[in-house]
Amino acid sequence: MLCKQFFSEESMKSSTTIPIERMTLSAATFERLITNVVHGTWKAGQQIPTERVLCKELGIARNSLREALKAMELIGMLESRVGEGTFVCPRSEFLARPLLWAFTGTDHAELADLMEARSLMEADLAGLAAKRRTAEELKRIEDTINAMQRDIVERVAVVETDMAFHLAIGQASHNEVLANAAQLLRNVLKYWIHMKLMIGGVPAQALERHREIYDAIRSQDVSTSRALMQEHLDETSILIAQLTAAPRNSVVAKTKATVPPPTNEPQPSLSEQSTGI
């Protein structure tokens, strides 16, 4: 019933933050805030105003505001980053949390279907990226690989840079519908992708696969780009299937040694490799 209050037609009429009567509940605060996302006042990737500013604009207490912001985080509209602030999520993430809830608590049969769908979509995206990518988009893909390499050297979890690589390829495909659908599946599978990348040696292997896919896209080799992405995600599917089949204690043991120790000399970036520096 609360969701119906949140998404009432009346709440969508205004696109600006206006003071809220003090007698209303946090749901009313949610209604006012959500219009800023729905109407594009707050755009994807943009940092929203601070709590102090919003409290002043809306005329509400900080507790009511925080409850409303938390609700927006739960449905995937906002993301809170420690030390940075709160940011608007891309629209492709809005449905990810409800869809994830739909799969929570079920057996793992759906995972195989999800992984298969993701593999098919992302293979096509890689092929399209090889055909359509611009120099700027190619550089963005390269940057995600170099960032993942740094994470491995610094022994940092690589799930974000791993997903950034796939997102950059989706953007380079210039097919927004297919790219958003693939991003939705990645968001749903993010927990298992993270668990896979916690297995010792897997981040380095994934990085090597990313380099191979990048090289094919750079060469505008459509068929090789598709084949390499398919192979990469098939390997991911196998690892995730093994994780879901293993007892919990076994999974924990597998993920203890996450990343190989950093080397004294990090590998050269892709630009340095291609130029022989």
**CA separation (Å) from 39 to 13, 48, 76, 107, 130?**
10, 14, 16, 38, 34
Instruction: Tell me the whole-structure pTM to 2 decimals.
Output: 0.59
pLDDT tens digits along 14-58: 334 444 444 344 667 777 888 888 777 898 889 999 999 999 988
- Residue 69 is predicted with a pLDDT of 86
Task: Report the range of poorest mean pLDDT among 28-42, 139-153, 258-272.
Answer: 258-272
pLDDT of residue 266: 41
Q: What is the DSSP string of 143-192?
A: HHHHHHHHHHHTT---HHHHHHHHHHHHHHHT-HHHHHHHHHHHHHTHHH
C-alpha angle 72/76/78, rounded to 5°?
55
Residue 3 structure tokens: 């969701």
Instruction: Report whether pLDDT(250) > 70.
Output: no
Q: How many CB atoms lie within 10 A of CB 53?
A: 11
Residues paired with residue 40 on neighbouring β-strands, in sequence order: none
Pairing of strands 85-88, 78-81: antiparallel
List the end-to-end C-alpha distance of the chain, in Å, as a whole number: 62
Residue 75's pLDDT band (boundaries 50, 70, 90)?
low
CB atoms within 10 A of CB 196: 24
Half-sphere exposure of 97 (CA within 13 A, CB side): 14
pLDDT per residue over 212-222, tens digit each? 999 999 999 99
**Any idea which architecture 2-89 has in CATH?**
Orthogonal Bundle (1.10)
Q: How would residue 63 be classed by pLDDT, with cut points 50, 70 and 90?
A: confident
Q: Where does the pLDDT of residue 92 fall: very low under 50, low under 70, confident under 90, or very high at 90 and above?
A: low
Residue 263 has what pLDDT? 39
Confidence check: pLDDT of 195 > 80: yes
Domain residue ranges of the chain, discontinuous segments joined by +: 2-89, 96-275
Taken as a whole, the chain contains a residue count of 277
| Residue 180 CA neighbour count, 13 Å, CB half | 10
At 84, which amino acid appears?
Answer: E
- Structural contact between residues 89 and 79, judged by C-beta atoms closer than 8 angstroms: yes
Q: Which two tokens stand for residue 86?
A: 């709160």
Nearest to 232 by CA among 245, 220, 214, 246: 214
Q: Which CATH class, in words, describes the domain spanning 96-275?
A: mainly alpha
Average pLDDT along the chain? 78
